[in-house]
């Protein structure tokens, strides 16, 4: 790597790609007139053929950028609270980075490794420096060699220094004015007629983090600011995490969805509880809690495991994407508000107790989240993302929902007393008080191997004996002559009814699991066909064990009676 080149006003890049284990350090000098400072990272595209945005951290593809104390991937914050704050560096401080031979990206400040900032980088990357705010001039000097006595880099790795020389700033100058000296220094004159009213850094002494005690499958990292569910393709629950202290009045507890898996139904659930994490026996899912707990699940609110609001806010948590943010706040008047990408969804609950802990359930598709704090630039990113998503939704609105998400939905062909609504995500019996059968609904597509088909009971009538039945069938919804109840079907059908299992209308297990007739509003029931052909049912996330074997590969999920939401 022999030189650097200016690519977009104040963004510069190396002219050749970085070698593995090659360190790129920068020495630093500042201008007190500006807020913010340089950004540094790598991109996987040759800068000569890349259209750079005004800010390196907003590069949307193939980029890994450190800015302040955050690391951004493709314009979305990947890690918060990482390393020393670049905005607080002083003149002659040195900043560097290295892509290791294992594909890790490590940043260095004054020669000290800040740890792994990103993983799985491609083999060919180019270093990028954004002369943002205080930083206005960099230069490449001759390579030097030094020994490293830590595990983050190899001994004898080459060090290529970029030195920030004497500041050369002209008020009102042309941003694009550039000169390259024979010593490879880069002089950039920047327009200073800009006012940046960035907020002062909030206190980091007692900022929220996750409590050490958590669900059995949770792995905490990033100073307990990130939480991840282990074995995400095998397990969909046991991912409950709580804040390390109670929430204060009007304190925003906000997380970012870092990683999703396209396998399970359902996704992140968020709420508050009066239970202390030091003494709580953590449940498989927080919607199992029967006291002191309010959770948002999907687009509804559950209080102590029972639905209290079926349609809350403008968003469905099950439809959020990686990078989206979910927050909540207990205000001083006792009202609980949720926030999606910074937008207040209104009052979710009232008269909330004073002492409550924040709760996140890494359920279903959501496998990793991080606690975040917002600044002005991130606010702008969220608004941009919201506007982009709004345009995308309008463009895709005419398409079937299952084509877009590939998620399980109910097929519109259903029993004569059933009705499918909410874009195929909800099924109900509108005249439940007058008739107790003909409520069969099937999924629009066959279940994938290992895919959980799960529903939540949203409404139950107490007039009739019996309740929900769930299972699988080889009959497609386009071909099936819908019966009064699926337990009447005499071929290709396995159903859980009450506490037993029926195959083609005949009982094969009498005392299998929890009695479905005893389920209440807010309870969940699901079914999985595993790759080995075994059929398992789940009640509130708890595996009831093997119910049948040698189940065919192409099967549809089936529900009979009541109202369900999934």
178 pLDDT tier (thresholds 50, 70, 90): very low
Residue 532 pLDDT class (50, 70, 90 cuts)? very high
Ordered DSSP codes for 256-312: EEEEE-SSSS---EEEEESS-TTT----SSGGG--SSEEEEETTEEEETTEEEESS-
Give the strand pairing for 556-560 and 469-473.
antiparallel
Bridge partner list, 220: 227
Mean pLDDT of 157-170: 29
Q: What is the pTM of this model?
A: 0.45
Q: In this predicted model, what pLDDT tens digit does every residue of 354-380 receive, in sequence order?
A: 999 999 999 999 999 999 876 444 545
d(CA 418, CA 321): 31
Locus of tokens 């999703």: 260
Rounded to an integer, the average pLDDT of 533-544 is 92
pLDDT single digits (tens) 78-108: 888 788 888 887 777 778 888 887 788 888 8
**Weakest mean pLDDT among 7-11, 239-243, 246-250, 331-335:** 7-11
Q: Given this model, what pLDDT does residue 14 score?
A: 55
Q: Which of 99, 107, 29, 120 is nearest to 69 (CA)?
A: 107
Residues sharing a CB contact under 8 Å with residue 69, sequence separation 6 or more, in sequence order:
80, 81, 82, 83, 84, 85, 86
Quick check: 47 and 7 in contact, CB under 8 A? Answer: yes
Residue 61: closest CA among 125, 1, 137 = 125
User: Which pLDDT does position 19 carry in this prediction?
Assistant: 59
CA–CA gap between residue 10 and residue 23 (Å, rounded): 22
Does 16 have pLDDT greater than 80?
Answer: no
**Sign of the alpha-carbon dihedral angle for 307, 313, 314, 315:** negative
Residue 111's φ and ψ, nearest 5 degrees, are 80, -5
Q: HEC string of 93-135?
A: CEEEEEECCCCCEEEEECCEEEEEEECCCCCCCEEEEECCCCC
As given in the structure block, the two tokens for residue 30 are 């500042």
The stretch 501-507 carries a mean pLDDT of: 91
What span, in angstroms and rounded, lies between the C-alpha atoms of 403 and 192? 50
Structure confidence at residue 99 (pLDDT)? 83
pLDDT at residue 225 in the model? 92
In DSSP terms, which residues pair with 186 in a beta bridge? 138, 180
Give the residue from 227, 230, 254, 253 showing the smallest Cα distance to 241.
Answer: 227
Task: Kindly indicate the confidence band of residue 493, based on its pLDDT and cuts at 50, 70 and 90.
Answer: very high
Q: How many CA atoms are closer than 13 Å to the CA of 392, on its beta-carbon side? A: 7
Read off the tokens for 240: 């409950």
**pLDDT recorded at residue 176:** 29
């Amino acid at each position: 790597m022999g030189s650097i080149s200016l690519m977009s006003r104040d963004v510069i890049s190396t002219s050749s790609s970085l070698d593995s284990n090659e360190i790129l350090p920068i020495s630093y000098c500042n201008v007190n007139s500006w807020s913010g400072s340089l950004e540094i990272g790598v991109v996987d595209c040759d800068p000569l053929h890349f259209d750079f945005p005004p800010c390196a951290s907003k590069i949307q593809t193939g980029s890994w950028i450190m800015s302040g104390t955050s690391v951004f991937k493709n314009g979305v914050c990947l890690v918060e609270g990482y390393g020393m704050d670049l905005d607080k560096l002083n003149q002659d401080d040195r900043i560097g980075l290295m892509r290791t031979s294992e594909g890790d990206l490590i940043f260095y400040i004054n020669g000290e490794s800040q740890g792994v900032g990103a993983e799985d980088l491609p083999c060919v990357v180019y270093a990028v420096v954004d002369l943002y705010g205080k930083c206005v001039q960099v230069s490449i000097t001759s390579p030097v060699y030094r020994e490293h006595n830590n595990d983050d880099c190899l001994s004898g790795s080459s060090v290529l220094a970029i030195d920030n020389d004497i500041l050369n700033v002209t008020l009102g100058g042309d941003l694009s004015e550039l000169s390259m000296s024979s010593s490879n220094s880069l002089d950039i004159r920047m327009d200073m007629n800009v006012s940046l009213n960035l907020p002062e850094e909030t206190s980091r002494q007692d900022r929220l983090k996750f409590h050490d005690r958590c669900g059995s499958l949770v792995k905490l990292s990033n100073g307990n600011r990130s939480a991840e569910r282990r074995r995400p393709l095998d397990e969909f629950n046991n991912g409950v995490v709580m804040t390390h202290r109670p929430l204060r009045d009007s304190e925003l507890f906000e997380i970012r969805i870092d990683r999703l898996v396209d396998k399970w139904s359902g996704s992140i659930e968020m709420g508050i509880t009066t239970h202390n994490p030091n003494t709580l026996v953590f449940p498989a899912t927080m919607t199992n809690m029967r006291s002191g707990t309010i959770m948002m699940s999907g687009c509804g609110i559950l209080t102590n495991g029972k639905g209290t609001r079926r349609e809350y806010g403008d968003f469905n948590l099950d439809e959020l994407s990686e990078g989206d943010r979910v927050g909540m706040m207990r205000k001083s008047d006792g009202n609980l508000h949720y926030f999606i990408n910074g937008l207040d969804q209104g009052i979710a609950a009232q008269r909330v107790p004073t002492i409550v802990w924040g709760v996140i359930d890494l359920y279903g598709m959501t496998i990793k989240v991080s606690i975040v704090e917002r600044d002005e630039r991130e606010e702008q990113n969220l608004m941009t993302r919201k506007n982009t998503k709004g345009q995308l939704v309008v463009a895709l609105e005419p398409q079937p929902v299952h084509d877009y998400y590939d998620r399980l939905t109910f097929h519109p062909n259903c029993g004569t007393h059933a009705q499918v609504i909410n874009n195929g995500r909800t099924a109900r019996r509108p005249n439940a008080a007058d008739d107790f059968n003909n409520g069969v609904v099937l999924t629009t597509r066959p279940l994938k191997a290992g895919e959980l088909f799960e529903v939540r009971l949203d409404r139950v009538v107490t007039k009739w004996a019996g309740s929900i039945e769930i299972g699988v069938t080889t009959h497609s919804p386009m071909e099936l002559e819908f019966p009064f109840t699926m337990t009447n079907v005499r071929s290709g059908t396995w159903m859980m009814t009450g506490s037993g299992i029926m195959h083609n209308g005949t009982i094969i297990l009498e005392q299998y699991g929890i009695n479905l007739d005893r389920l209440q509003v807010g309870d969940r029931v699901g079914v999985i066909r595993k790759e080995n052909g075994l059929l398992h049912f789940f009640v509130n996330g708890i595996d009831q064990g093997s119910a049948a074997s040698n189940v065919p590969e192409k099967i549809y999920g089936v529900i009979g009676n009541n109202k369900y939401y999934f």
